[in-house]
Amino acid sequence: MYHPGGPGISAVTELFNSPPGIDFDQHSVLSWDGATSGDGTGACGIDTIKFLTERTPQDFADLGQKAGDECKDGFGSALDVGAWAAADELETIRGALGIDQFDILSISYGTAIAEAYLRWHPEHVRRAVLDAPIGLGLKWADRIAAVGSVSSTLADEMASACDTDRCAAELNGVAPDQSYETLRAAVLAEHPSVGSGNLELSPVVLDQATLLAIHGRDYWPGWATAIDEGLNGDGSALWNAGQHIYLDLDRQIYYRSLCGDLDRPSDAADYNGGPDPLVFAYASDLAPCVRFPSGTPPQQLAAEGAPQPAVEIYVSTRDPLAPSVMLAGAPFLSTLGRYCQSDHPGHTSYADPVARAAIIAFLESGQPDC
């Protein structure tokens, strides 16, 4: 059973292109996700678009509530979509297929579903990998603090490595080893027109593009080129990257899942992550959650004495979405199995060939390989 992440990302292409390394002549792979559509435009309406382009510390709470109103249509039970509902669906599928035991390879949001399933039905899992786990039950303040610290470090590393013509030049009297704050201020000072040419690059879109880039080193060169264009007055590449992270999700599924899965504030004002722009962009993304009910996981427990599967949990000290320092306090993860820790700079260790080979080897043999 393979879940490539999300929620709201279609796994149709992932089913054919991933997970690399698995011998499909020897194994059957079932991939599933939380997306209801694959058209790449998940914005729920005009207020959601406005929330993307005009969000500021002054107005994000009001815009977040409006975006939440647009996106909550069709929301039934707090658990009709999300990790707990998906885990229940997985059990139904297992029963229908007549499978006694299976292996789980879960990445990013898929780990939330794996965590829920392992809490309920460990006896049906032989081996499981949770790569970059979300960590159900983590306190919001702990999540924001950990994500903010790692994101800030990676953003500064990325800025220092930005060696395109304009990035490498001195900006406003600052040497080439500039911080992200320096590059950010320089780009926004150019007031680049984006989109159809009648919009100005917004700080939030710039920060969304940066968050996408720091998810993995593969995005860093493209980010550097986009920054270079922004410094020449054309922020279209940054605009496109910001749209990608925000609008290419099915936002209704994104909110319906995460709002019910995460421990998060009930007051819109509490989604302001503070003065750091990247923390603000990350935290305020979920401001529409104030319009959604909080999910309470069913009090279902695994059968007493149920056999426990072999589980490996892959974490990185430099994961901008699920850093290992954050997961040290996860209430249930620590009981599942062994931690495999690395310094891979990005979200999910599976993107690293060495880690990917170790993951596949563990699923093949059951022998610890990290």
Per-residue pLDDT at 278: 93
- Mean pLDDT along residues 79-98: 85
CB 174 within 8 A of CB 185: no
Q: Mean pLDDT lowest for which of 41-55, 176-190, 217-231?
A: 41-55
**Residues 103 and 151 grouped into a single domain:** no
- Mean pLDDT along residues 128-151: 92
370 domain-assigned: no
**Residues 190 and 131 grouped into a single domain:** no
124 domain-assigned: yes
Q: Which structural domain range is residue 331 located in?
A: 2-33+79-136+298-365
**Cα(125)–Cα(185) distance, integer angstroms:** 50
Mean pLDDT of the chain: 84
- Mean pLDDT along residues 187-196: 86
Among 242, 267, 296, the domain-final residue is 296
Question: pLDDT tens digit string along 105-133?
Answer: 999 999 999 999 998 999 999 999 999 99
Q: Mean pLDDT lowest for which of 206-210, 254-258, 312-316?
A: 254-258
Question: For the whole model, what pTM was predicted?
Answer: 0.90
Per-residue pLDDT at 13: 60
**Residues 337 and 290 grouped into a single domain:** no
**Residues 210 and 341 grouped into a single domain:** no
240 domain-assigned: yes
Q: How many structural domains is the chain composed of?
A: 2
**Residues 52 and 174 grouped into a single domain:** yes
CA separation (Å) from 70 to 58, 272, 295, 334? 21, 21, 19, 38
Among 296, 321, 338, the domain-final residue is 296
The DSSP code for 340 is E
What is the token pair recorded at 324?
């290992």
The Cβ-side half-sphere exposure at 294, using a 13 Å CA radius, reads 10
Per-residue pLDDT at 333: 86
Among 238, 267, 296, the domain-final residue is 296
**Residues 9 and 150 grouped into a single domain:** no
CB 174 within 8 A of CB 157: no
Q: Mean pLDDT lowest for which of 191-205, 294-308, 345-359?
A: 294-308
Of residues 337 and 150, which shows the higher confidence score?
A: 150
**Residues 63 and 132 grouped into a single domain:** no
Q: Grade residue 62 by pLDDT with cuts at 50, 70 and 90.
A: confident
**Cα(159)–Cα(264) distance, integer angstroms:** 31
Question: pLDDT tens digit string along 192-247?
Answer: 988 777 788 889 889 999 998 998 878 888 999 999 999 888 889 998 888 777 77
